[in-house]
Chain A
Amino acid sequence: MQRRLLLGHPQLAITIGRLCQELIENHQNFDNTVILGLQPRGIFFAERIKERLLEITGTEIELGYLDSTFYRDDFRRRDSPKRANETKIDFLIEGKKVILIDDVFYTGRSIRAAMDAMIAYGRPAKVELLVLVERKYSRHVPIKPDYVGRQVNTLDSHKVLVEWKGQGVDDDNIWLMTNEEE
């Protein structure tokens, strides 16, 4: 595998700032809004969004972790099962505006499963989807994100890797992983 930098540290901070401004535009004071970060990788990005919104607006928005392992449509269809992660939602989502946050949006199947998982906790007033990277032309289901950090053209053989500072790496970086022959 070779890797190519899609988005590095200073630009990524700008992108996160821009996404937060878009959220503020639509949610104003966030008094009825909550965030759900998707396990396993989306939670780190969700934490970043929450922190930045706190810096900009001074408002602390409730953040929960949502795991969709038991709701996936590829159970008993993939070679090895996915390991379940913790779901941690310490607030009610009934009647709330929910912002689902994930790092990489690819086929859309994870988001479909996540919406099923979310509904088990109540009926939100509105659900939006915010993703850091959208892989174009890869959709398997009719789902479209409301907020996108960066769109990229990828092949199925590619992988997008999002690294966050503090998790064994020195900086926030998004990499496109490709096979050497390409």
Chain B
Amino acid sequence: MQEQLSVKHLLGIKDLTPGDIELIFETADEFKDVINRPIKKVPSLRDVTVANVFFENSTRTKLSFELAEKRLSADIINFSSSNSSVKKGETLLDTVNNILSMKVDMIVMRHASPGAPHFLSKHIKANIVNAGDGTHEHPTQALLDTFSIRQRLGGVAGKKVAIIGDILHSRVALSNIFALQKLGAEVMVCGPITLLPKHIATLGVKVELNVRKALEWCDVANVLRIQLERQQIKYFPSLREYSLYYGINKKLLDSLNKEIVIMHPGPINRGVELSSDVADSDHAIILDQVENGVAIRMAVLYLLASLSKN
């Protein structure tokens, strides 16, 4: 049985071994128990300071990390680029080194540029957790997604998971593909051809353009948001048309003759990729994902912190 992670930073799922993921899951099981107790806090990280450095907007990931850090008794500082010296022309490395000279042990970072946390990891000593780098990876989201599948279906190996929507701009999709494959699941991506990366099939995933066929194939549908803020050009004629062809509603689900699990990393655009009656139904485990997110992030922070001796 693996006792500790094989990596010093959580930069992406790509670098993790299946054993790492299993260790994170088993640790998260115990933290899930912790956050459901009357006293939801443990003292493990009381001598650790974590900086949440967000160069890009985030609500739930930031809240989830912050709560995870607080539940572990870490000291935290928050930084968001919108009201900082980044606007005055400071470089990423300078910004982070300034934060680190205030004796910070761990950095949780979100950045719009793919690879930003990888770059940082080569220059600083603190443990880094990637909270999303551009369109590249969002490892904790993939961990909580697969953890939620494991919780709902009893395991991930052998399950069929369809990732539906804007795959091109999605870091959630890429991290999920890596995580699901490492855990032995079959993966399909589905969306309009313009929103699928050109060579996605080389990752060993099935590609499907018809959402009904994807739903008929899968046990779990992970539905992604259309990331309009990342789309510089038009990838489809209108949201209404997207919703007509790729939106998932109750009628479509009822016509499948089987039960599938619906997931969504949030934020949902109700009426676009998911109708309200699906998002609020028993099929959806969207709020379980959010709860599991705190436990998974506690496990990641705990396991990374344990690697550096005080």
Known: A71-B42, A71-B43, A122-B38. A77 touches B30 (CB 8 A): no
A76 part of interface (Cβ distance < 8 Å): yes
B-chain residues with CB within 8 Å of residue A58 when the two chains form the complex = none
* Interface SS, A side: loop
Complex alpha-carbon distance, A119 and B43, angstroms = 12
Q: Say yes or no: A83-B1 contact (C-beta < 8 A), given A67-B30, A75-B306.
A: yes
Q: Which B residues are within 8 Å of any A CB, using their own CB?
A: 1, 3-4, 26-27, 29-30, 33-34, 37-39, 41-45, 47-48, 302-303, 305-310
- With A80-B3, A80-B4, A81-B3 known to touch, is A86 a contact of B30 (CB < 8 Å)? yes
Which 7 pairs, one residue from A and one from B, show the smallest C-beta to C-beta distance?
A: A81-B306, A70-B42, A120-B39, A84-B30, A76-B310, A70-B44, A80-B3
| Chain A, interface residues (CB within 8 Å), range | 20 to 34
In the bound complex, CA of A86 to CA of B28 (Å):
11
Who on chain A is nearest to B71 by CB?
A70
A84 to B47, CA, bound (A): 19
B contact residues around A79 at 8 Å (CB): 309
A70 touches B3 (CB 8 A): no
CB atoms of B43 and A116 under 8 A apart: yes
30 A-B pairs with CB atoms under 8 Å apart are: A67-B30, A69-B30, A70-B34, A70-B42, A75-B44, A76-B308, A76-B310, A77-B309, A79-B309, A80-B3, A80-B4, A81-B3, A81-B4, A81-B303, A81-B307, A83-B1, A83-B3, A84-B26, A84-B27, A84-B30, A86-B33, A87-B30, A119-B39, A120-B37, A120-B38, A120-B41, A120-B42, A121-B37, A121-B38, A121-B39
**In the bound complex, what is the Cα–Cα distance between A86 and B31 (angstroms)?**
10
Interface residues of A in 93-142 (CB under 8 A from B): 116, 119-122
Q: Which among A69, A70, A86, A119 has the greatest number of chain B C-beta atoms within 10 A? A: A70
B26 contact set on A, CB distance < 8 A: 83-84
Given contacts A84-B30, A86-B33, 5 further A-B pairs with CB under 8 A are: A70-B30, A71-B44, A80-B3, A87-B30, A121-B39
Instruction: Check if A85 is an interface residue, CB within 8 A of chain B.
Output: yes
Helix, strand, loop or mixed for chain B's interface?
loop
Query: In the complex, which residues of chain B have a beta carbon less than 8 angstroms from the beta carbon of A69?
Result: 30
Q: From residue A23, how far is it (CB to closest CB) to chain B in Å?
A: 28
Given contact pairs A76-B308, A77-B309, A81-B303, A70 touches B43 in the complex (Cβ within 8 A): yes
A82 to chain B, nearest CB (A): 8
Residues of A within 8 A of B47 (CB): 76
Distance in angstroms from B147 CB to nearest chain A CB is 15
Q: Chain A nearest CB: distance from B1 CB in Å? A: 7
How far is the CB of A74 from the nearest CB of chain B, in Å?
A: 10
Residues of B within 8 A of A80 (CB): 3-4
Could you say which residues of chain B place their CB within 8 Å of the CB of A122? 38
CA distance A70 to B303 in the complex (A): 11
What's the minimum C-beta distance from A73 to chain B, rounded to whole angstroms?
Answer: 9
Smallest distance from the beta carbon of B219 to chain A beta carbons, Å? 27
Least Cβ distance of B39 to chain A in Å? Answer: 4
The interface residues of chain A lying within 8 Å CB-to-CB of B42 are 70-71, 120
Give complex CA distance A85, B306 in Å. 16
| CB proximity of B67 to chain A, nearest CB, Å | 16
- A67 / chain B contacts, CB cutoff of 8 Å: 30
Which residues on A sit within 8 Å (CB–CB) of B27? 83-84
Which A residues are CB-close (under 8 A) to B33? 86-87
Chain B residue numbers with a CB within 8 Å of A76 are 47-48, 305-306, 308-310
CB-CB < 8 A to A120: which residues of B?
37-39, 41-42
A80 to B38, CA, bound (A): 30
Given A71-B43, A76-B306, A80-B3, A85 and B30 contact (CB-CB distance below 8 Å): yes
CB closest residue in chain A, given B40: A120
Contact with B along A136-172 (1 / 0, CB 8 A): 0000000000000000000000000000000000000
Docked complex Cα distance between A138 and B231 (Å): 66
Instruction: Name the distance in Å between B4's Cβ and chain A's nearest Cβ.
Output: 6
Contacts of B1 in A (CB 8 A): 83
- Chain A residues near B310 (CB, 8 Å)? 76-77
A87 to B45, CA, bound (A): 19
A90 to B310, CA, bound (A): 36
